[in-house]
Amino acid sequence: MTGDDTNPRICKRCLIRDLAEEDRNNLRKYLDVIKEPDRTDPARYEARLAVCLSCEKMNAATCTACGCYVEFRAYAKNSHCPLKKW
């Protein structure tokens, strides 16, 4: 998040894990719901996020092509990019 506490602005190129601690905790709760066998491995997860971060459709942790939070989509093993970038 950028800006001061009285006028916070959302970073268009940030992931949820880059935002406030409460947001990071909520992210962890949602990711933990995905069962272990359905999770992608950490290296692939980070590679997928790197692609999302460089994509023109990324806006405030959201993929504007499909509306998902990129961290959730990237974490699921059988998930894919709606633009077929990964």
Q: Which pTM was predicted?
A: 0.77
Helix locations, the chain, DSSP H: 21-33, 42-54, 70-75
Domain ranges (residues) in the chain: 16-75
pLDDT in tens, 11-58: 777 887 776 777 778 888 889 999 999 999 999 999 999 999 999 999
pLDDT for 79 beyond 50: yes
Tell me how crowded residue 54 is: count the other CB atoms within 10 A of its CB: 10
